[in-house]
Amino acid sequence: MVDLWVEKYRPKKIEDYVFTNDALREDVNSWIKNRQVPGHLLLSGHQGCGKTALARLLFVNFEVPKGDILEINGSQEGRLIDTLREKIIGFCSTWSLSGGHKFILIDEADYLNAQSVQPALRNIMEKFAEHVRFILTCNYPTKILPALHSRCQQYHFEQIDEEAYLDKMTNVLDNEKIKYDMEDLVEYYTAAYPDLRKCINLLQQNSSSGKLRPLVKGESTAGLGDYILDSVRLIRNGKINEARKLITAQARQEEYVEIYRWMYQNLDLWGDDEDTQNQAIVLIAKYLRNDMVVADQEINLAAAFVELSKLRN
């Protein structure tokens, strides 16, 4: 069975973890020394920047038994109030196997239902605070209710240092004995930065022959699915409305941010001259910002395609 590089090269020791926040580094070392966190945590930042990896490293360093850890994906089961009733409350209602704290890790907590799940979670965090610690991770902290913010110590993860990012890429390829040209490596860096997880997946996907092949134009979207590559062909043929319909029909809402990034990474789709591409950047930034606050993200994405299509006329 082929190992997934993203799992193989996930930090196994705290010394291997790349911190982007000096205050967080100091606090983490203190937590490990005392073998506990002082309260609930809210870890925010761009996807692939190491939020979940850090939480799991804490569990390892605290020597938390597996039975004392509950992991939930907020973008899937965490949207349902039944998840609270059937899993979280049941888990919180039993004592720890080790006599210490139990831990609940909720990934993508910004997708928790803000009308039902988040308000209920607030009360649960208070009720069981004596023996349960919650660690919430999210890309967009603005989507987390203020009442949850106030119950957590908050840390925002900045982008990984570019040199450290490139070092990680070369270390992975060298360890796997993959040959590569530096020019090609820069293309992968440009396509995926600051999402290190996505970059490592792309490197593995394109190294099966033992040599890293050049990144195909538009392939920075490989994680989004084949529909994006089909959309590239439609756009280049002037069929932007068809591309818009294809993307809005197949993309999941949690992929929308990556779609805006794809729009930005492929500015030549919207025009060849610098002025047109600059206008495209402004439009993409506007609709990406809107994505965090609009009532209907799909309509917002469709509107972005409508405005970008005008640049090609």
- The pLDDT, as a whole number, for residue 226 is 61
Cβ–Cβ < 8 Å for 103, 64: yes
Kindly report, residue by residue over 242-272, the tens digit of the pLDDT: 999 988 887 877 778 888 988 888 888 898 8
Region of residue 294 (phi > 0: left; psi between -120 and 50: alpha; otherwise: beta): beta
pLDDT of 300 higher than 90: yes
Handedness of CA 139, 144, 149, 152 (dihedral sign): negative
Residue 203 to residue 195: CA distance in whole angstroms: 13
pLDDT of 5 higher than 60: yes
- 40-45 sheet: strands from edge to edge: 69-73, 102-107, 132-138, 40-45, 152-157
Kindly report, residue by residue over 68-102, the tens digit of the pLDDT: 999 998 877 777 788 777 889 999 999 899 888 99
- The pLDDT, as a whole number, for residue 68 is 96
Kindly report, residue by residue over 196-240, the tens digit of the pLDDT: 888 898 899 889 899 999 876 554 444 555 677 778 888 888 898
pTM reported for the whole predicted model: 0.69
Domains defined for the chain, CATH in brackets: 19-157 (3.40.50.300), 162-220 (1.10.8), 223-311 (1.20.272)
SS3 106: strand
Kindly report, residue by residue over 125-152, the tens digit of the pLDDT: 999 999 999 999 998 788 899 999 999 9
CA distances from 101 to 104, 125, 137, 156 (A): 10, 13, 19, 24
Structure tokens that stand for 175 in this block: 């360890």
| Mean pLDDT, rounded, for 110-132 | 91
Cβ–Cβ < 8 Å for 103, 65: no
- The pLDDT, as a whole number, for residue 222 is 44
Question: What does the angle CA 105 – CA 297 – CA 235 come to, to the nearest 5 degrees?
Answer: 115
